[in-house]
Chains A and B, each alone.
Chain A
Amino acid sequence: MLLSGVDNAVIVIFSIFIIYVGIHFSKAVHDMESFYLGNRSLPWSLTVGALVATWYGGVGTIGTVEYAAMYGLSIWLIWCVTAHLGRMPLALWVGPRISIRTDVTVPDLLQDIYGKGVALIGAIFMLVYCTQFAQITAMGECGIAWGITPFEAGAGLIVLVIIVAVCGGLMGVAVTDMVLFWCMCFGLTMVLPTQWADVGGWAGLTQALGKTPDLMDPLGGLTFMKGLMLVVVSFGVYADPTFYQRFSASDSPKSGRRAMLSCFCLWICFDIILTVTGLIVKAKYGDSIGPGEGYIKLVLTTLPVGVRALFMIGLAGSIISALDGYYLSGAATFANDIYGRLKGNVSQKELVLITRITIVVLAIIGLSVAFQFSTAQDAFLFIASVWMSAGFVPIVGGLLYKGKKTPVGGYLSMLVGAGVFAYFKYYPLQAFDLEPLVAALPLSYIAWMIGNQIGKSVEVESIREVA
């Protein structure tokens, strides 16, 4: 075990605080809007905390360290810089437009644009995406700190996740997110100054990684296809349910936009901090240990007692925040968009109950799949690719394209995208390296364009009906 009794005592006290917050906010939950959108009252600082904590999670932290140890500095320059740059339009134009819409979830949006059937299929894909088992894979890496198995670490984590999300809804999640945001950013960053000095700065790092010079090349390390795939996946945030939820929960579109622009500045700094930490892990341990486990070991064997607890809280906290956010979105999707649409005429009380039950089910599914993948980032790329293949084109196209959009367009883009992804995933091309998602997106787009020429527009029909 790498943690002392004092460290564990600090972690237990903190866990009790998290449980208290969850239970405290459960009293304020009366309907779906207060449970899912926190009554649309999140100020700038709380939106920043919630966005950073939810999006980074275990994949953004441990996953980035793992990938930096495998692919080097190019992870930051090719992936991170491009990814945030590509998200600027989301913060400036798309997000504020979404926050003034009355749709509560992504399937609500799909129903308004393409009709009930497409919304139902979209809800099923989104539910799968929201299992976010990659976060639990990341927590498994932390098991080394207590000398327990990855599964045991994952199981312990989801108990906390369930308590916060089931009891407190978004307000409980957002408030704990804020504390966890600080712990995560502070705890994971404070190790860098000492480690950087210890490894001997750039000169020491270059020497230690002499056998793998590509890792120190900001434009090398990644193959073209891998780089392209990472950049494409980073655009997945345009179809990310937790983003729409957080943005809609901010107290105004302006506040949401500024929160997200602030996040870009924080993320680009945090990314380089995690990237160079990954390189330090590689320099110190080489291939003798997995980079995720190496990261935990590196930090816990160098930080003083008590401070190590802050690091672990930050790390586990980032995973809790992310899972809470996704489970909340996934469960609300099931309650509103699958159960609610199929049954019809469901009371607010029943919706909240179904959402809470679904959170528990999602957590159990996530735990049972999480350890089928070797790294958290690989697990994330798989689940994100499945969701993007099916959902990216109809959602983003639906929001940005002003022309005619029909149910056939929605169905075709989803089915073609998911079908092409599944085909190339299980029957990869032998002639050259092709990531399934890179093939699925353009074909989904073509299918969407063709489908939109067939049938009537749902939006036009609903306007006619109202008139």
Chain B
Amino acid sequence: MSNQKNSLEISWIGLDGFLVALYFVLVGIICYAIFRHNDFIIQYLLPYGFMIAVTGIFINYLSLVFKFAKTKKE
């Protein structure tokens, strides 16, 4: 029960809070690019940043799969 309650708690000064803040920061950066017509953000920062982020998540998943396979073998 306490595990369940702990799992429902939001850590505002932790990863949850960071991800919420990150959303607003990203919206701010994109709004800046739109209203100030900034080419660098649209042409480089956003697409390359996004591609790096999704590749990172994909690698994180692959590392979990390999770790799981290794543990199973042992």
Contact = CB atoms under 8 A, between A and B. Distances in A.
Given A181-B54, A182-B54, A266-B54, A192 B43 contact: yes
Contact of A257 (B16, B31, B49, B58): B16
A88 interface: yes
B69 interface: no
Contact of A84 (B23, B37, B53): B23
Given A45-B64, A268-B23, A268-B30, A273 B54 contact: no
Interface stretch (A116-124, A197-205, A355-363): A197-205
Contact of A185 (B23, B33, B54): B54
Given A192-B46, A201-B37, A203-B37, 13 more contacts: A43-B61, A46-B64, A73-B34, A76-B34, A92-B10, A185-B50, A185-B54, A190-B47, A252-B7, A262-B19, A266-B54, A272-B30, A272-B33
Contacts of B13: none
Interface of A: 43-46, 48-49, 73, 76-77, 81, 84-85, 88, 92, 96-97, 100, 178, 181-182, 185-186, 189-190, 192-193, 196-197, 201-203, 206, 218, 252-254, 257-258, 261-262, 264-266, 268-270, 272-273, 276
B58 A182 contact: yes
Shortest 8 CB-CB contacts between residues of A and residues of B: A261-B19, A202-B37, A45-B61, A201-B39, A185-B54, A182-B58, A196-B43, A45-B60
Interface in B1-60: 4, 7-8, 10, 15-16, 19-20, 22-23, 26-27, 30-31, 33-35, 37-39, 42-44, 46-51, 53-55, 57-58, 60
Given A45-B57, A252-B7, A261-B23, A189 B51 contact: yes
Contacts of B43: 192-193, 196-197, 201
Nearest to A264: B23
A269 B31 CA distance: 11
A77 B31 contact: yes
A193 B58 contact: no
A253 B8 contact: yes
Contacts of B4: 100, 253
Nearest to B8: A96
A218 B37 CA distance: 12
